[in-house]
Structure 1
Amino acid sequence: MAKVVGLVNLHSDVSYEGLTERRPVASVSFLGRYGIIDFVLSNMSNSNVDTVGVLIKEKPRSLFKHLGNGNSWNFNSKSGGVSLLYNEKCANNALYNHDVNNLIENIAFLQKAKADYVVIAPAHIITTMNYAEVVEAHAKSGAEITVVYQRINNANETFVGSDYLRLKGKQVTEIKQNKGNRKERNISLETYVVNAKVLLELLKYAKKISSFFDLKDTLAYLCDERRIMAYEYKGFARCIDSYESYYKVSMEFLDMDISTQVFKSTWPIFTNTNDTPPTKYLKNAQVKKSFVANGVIVDGDVEGSILSRNVVIGKNAVVKNCIILNGSHVSAGAHLENVIIDKDARIEKKKELVSVGEPLYVKEGDVV
C-alpha cells in the first residue's frame, strides 16, 4: 500500500483586514467554533492521510495553540501525526519566505516520512475533497504531478487572482492567473499530488531557476518540461481569499442547502473541543437562521448571524447579519447590523453600529 504524506500550505498572499493582523488565515474563526484550517485537516484525516506537515508562513502563535498535538483531527500519532513546519530563517523576508524555502529548511520531514506520494493543499479554499481518490487517479495516470481543478462558470466573480489551467485532454499545458475577464475557467484549487522523489527534485530545481520562486511559480514554469496531469474535482469548493469573501462565505453557510454539502455524517469536520457550558437563551431571546456556539448567553434578537463561544448578547440588543468572535460582549439595547467583531471586544458606549456595504470591523479587545 502506497504511503501518502499531506502538506497544508499556508504560504499565500491571502489576508482578511484586521482579522489577520495578529493571526494567520488558517486560525481565523469560522462558523463560531472552527478554525479555517480545520476543513483541510479534516479532509486529510478522512482520506486516511496520517502524516501531515503544516507549512507556516507567519504569526504562528495562535496556530500552535489551535492545533496542539493534532489529536482533535484523529491523526494516528504512532504513524505520523501533525508537524508544524516554520522557516524562522526567512520569516522576516517576504521574498524568501515561501513554501519552497520552508520545505528545504524542513527537508527532514519529507525524508523521514519515506512517502510515495505527497498531497499539498491550501487552507483558504474550503472543500470536502477525498485525497485518496485523487492519489489513486494520479497513480493510474502515471503522472509525476497532478493538479486538482474545478470547472466554474463565474470566474469573473470568484477565484479572481487564483490560477487557472489550460488543458490538452487531461494534461496541463499552461498555468495562468485568473484576472476575472472570463466566466468559464478551469480553476486550480492549489491542491497537488506529487511523487515524493519528484517533489525533492523540484525543490532543488526551483532554487536554480529563481530564489524567489514558490511552488506555484515552479509548476507554471515546468508545464512544457514535465508531464503534469489535471484532476477535475466536482464537489463543494469556496475560496476565502479576502475580508469580503470571508464574510460572504460565512453568511452563505447559514443556508441549509449549502451547509449540508459540507457537514455530512460520512465526512466529519473535526476541531479542538472546549469545556464550555451549553448556550443559554434568556427571557428576551429571539434567534433566527444563525449559528450559535456553546457558552453563548442570548437575551436579545439575533438574526442571520454567527456567534462564537462565550459571546454575550445583552437584554433587548439587536444583532443582524453579524459575525461575533469568542468572548465578545454586546451590551443591552445595542443595535448591530453587518458587523464583524473580533474576540474579547465589548460594545458598550457606541451602541448603534450599522454598516452598509462592506461589513464594519471591530478590533480584538476593543471597547466601543
Structure 2
Amino acid sequence: MKDTMMGLIDATTIHESLRLLTSKRSLAAIPFGGRYRLIDFVLSNMVNSGIQSVAIFPKHQYRSLMDHLGSGKQWDLNRKRDGLFFFPPTDGHDDSFVDEFGSFSHMQANIDYFLRSTQEYVVITNCNTICNIDFRKVLMSHKETGADITTVRKNGRPLNMYLLKKEFLMDLFCHYKESGYTHFSDVLCDRHMMYRLHSYEYDGYVAQINSIEAYYYHSLEMLNHDVWKQLFIKNRPIYTKVKDEPPARYMDGAKVKNSIIANGCIIEGHIENSILFRAVRVGKGTVIKNSVIMQQSLIRDRCTLESVILDKDVKVGENVKLYGEKSRPFVLEKGTIQGAVMNL
C-alpha cells in the first residue's frame, strides 16, 4: 500500500555504562518517568504516526520486555492483520557485534515478516530515544527529497532513527554477505556510500539514555513543566502497560515538593525533587531528595537518600544514609537489601 509504514525497533544494543540497570532486563525495559519503560516512547511514536505493524528485535534479557509488551493491546497492536511482532535472535545468530545497530543477519532470519507485509516504507529506530515525533512528517520530507535513506537528527546529531523503502532494506540485508555490510550502521558509516542520504531535523525535546548519568539527568528533567509539556502531548499520548494500583497515600507528617509520585505509594517522610514509581513505601522521618526510586522499593524510617537511583524491589533498612552526586548518582541494583530490614 502506497505511503504506508512499518516499524522496526532494534532492542539489541548494550551500553556498558548502564549495566547496573540492565543486568536483569534489556535496555528497552528500563523504567522511566514514574510509570513508563524506555520502549514505550518510540513504540507510541510509531502508533501515533499510523504505523500498525511493528517488529521488535531483542537480544539479551528480554523476558521483562516481553512481559511488558504482551500482545501489544495497550498500543492497539493486538490485531488480526499486522500488529506487534517479537523476533528474538535465532540459534547460531552472529553475536560478535553486540553494540552494532540493525543486524542484517537478524533481519534475514525473519525475512518472512518483510515478505508478508504490505507496507511500502520502514521506520528503523533504537529503543532508548525519548521524544514525541511524528514519522509522517519524516516520510513527507523523505519523499520530497527523493532520498534513499532519511536519518532523523537533533541539532545535527543523529538519533538512530531512519526511514527508507522496504524493498531497499530487503535488498541490503539479503545481500549483506556479498556487500560486506553486516549491520545497517555499516551502510551509514561507509564514506563511499552511493546512496542518497537526507537529514530530517527534529525540533522537539529529545533524550537519549545511554549511561547512568544520562538516565539520572533526563529522569529529573521530567520534573520540569516545560519539558513535560513537550514530551507528553494531548493528541499524541505515550502509551504503556497499565497497572491497577490504589491512589498514593500521604500519611500524617508527609511532605512532598516538586516530585512525581505514582499510584500505590505510601509516603510518611519528606520527598523533594524526586520520582517514585508505583507501590514505593517511604517511612517516617525519611528524607529523599533528587532521587529516582523504582517500583515496589521500601525505604524504612529515618533514612536519608540524596542523588540516588534505587532499582526495583530494593529494600533499605532504618537509619541508612545514601549519598551520590548529580554528576555521579549512587545506584542500588534490583532486589538489593541495604542495611537491616525487619518485619517485611
TM-score (norm 1): 0.86
Q: 1:237-285 deviations in whole A, cap 9, x for unaligned?
A: 1111111100000011111111111011121010010111111011011
Q: Equivalent residues in 2 for 1:1-368 (5 A)?
A: 1-15=2-16, 16-75=18-77, 77-90=79-92, 93-95=95-97, 99-151=103-155, 186-210=156-180, 213-221=182-190, 224-349=193-318, 351-356=320-325, 357-368=327-338
Query: Unpaired segments of 5 or more residues in structure 1?
Result: 152-185
Q: Is the 8 A contact 1:206 1:218 kept in 2?
A: no
Q: 1:21-79 deviations in whole A, cap 9, x for unaligned?
A: 11111100001110010000110111010100011121110100010001101236133
Q: Which moved more, 1:5-14 or 1:270-279?
A: 5-14
Q: Match of 1:287, SS? A: strand
Q: Is the 8 A contact 1:286 1:300 kept in 2?
A: yes
Letter in 1 for 2:39: I
| Segments ≥4 residues shifted beyond 3 Å | none
Q: Which moved more, 1:4-13 or 1:71-80?
A: 71-80
> What number of residue pairs does the alignment pair up?
333
Could you tell me how far 1:95 is from its partner in structure 2? Answer: 2.8
TM-score (norm 2): 0.92
Q: Distance in 2 between matches of 1:305 and 1:138?
A: 40
Q: Is the 8 A contact 1:57 1:91 kept in 2?
A: no
Q: Distance in 1 between matches of 2:13 and 2:264?
A: 33
Could you tell me how far 1:138 is from its partner in structure 2? Answer: 1.3
Q: Distance in 2 between matches of 1:316 and 1:137?
A: 56
Q: Is the 8 A contact 1:87 1:101 kept in 2?
A: no
Q: Match of 1:219, SS? A: helix
Q: Match of 1:197, SS? A: helix
Q: Which moved more, 1:66-75 or 1:91-100?
A: 91-100
Closer, same or farther in 2 for the Cα pair 1:76/1:343, shift >3 Å? closer
Q: Distance in 1 between matches of 2:96 and 2:295?
A: 31
Letter in 1 for 2:163: V
Q: Distance in 2 between matches of 1:257 and 1:109?
A: 40
Could you tell me how far 1:92 is from its partner in structure 2? Answer: 7.8
Q: Which moved more, 1:50-59 or 1:217-226?
A: 217-226
Letter in 2 for 1:21: S
Q: Distance in 2 between matches of 1:92 and 1:229?
A: 30
Percent same amino acid at aligned positions?
A: 33
Q: Is the 8 A contact 2:130 2:208 kept in 1?
A: yes
Query: Unpaired segments of 5 or more residues in structure 2?
Result: 339-344
Q: Which moved more, 1:74-83 or 1:308-317?
A: 74-83
Could you tell me how far 1:91 is from its partner in structure 2? Answer: 5.9
Q: Distance in 2 between matches of 1:215 and 1:348?
A: 48
Q: Distance in 2 between matches of 1:37 and 1:29?
A: 9
Q: Distance in 2 between matches of 1:90 and 1:38?
A: 30
Q: Is the 8 A contact 1:73 1:270 kept in 2?
A: yes
Could you tell me how far 1:81 is from its partner in structure 2? Answer: 1.1
Q: Distance in 2 between matches of 1:93 and 1:341?
A: 31
Could you tell me how far 1:222 is from its partner in structure 2? Answer: 6.7
Q: Is the 8 A contact 1:58 1:91 kept in 2?
A: no
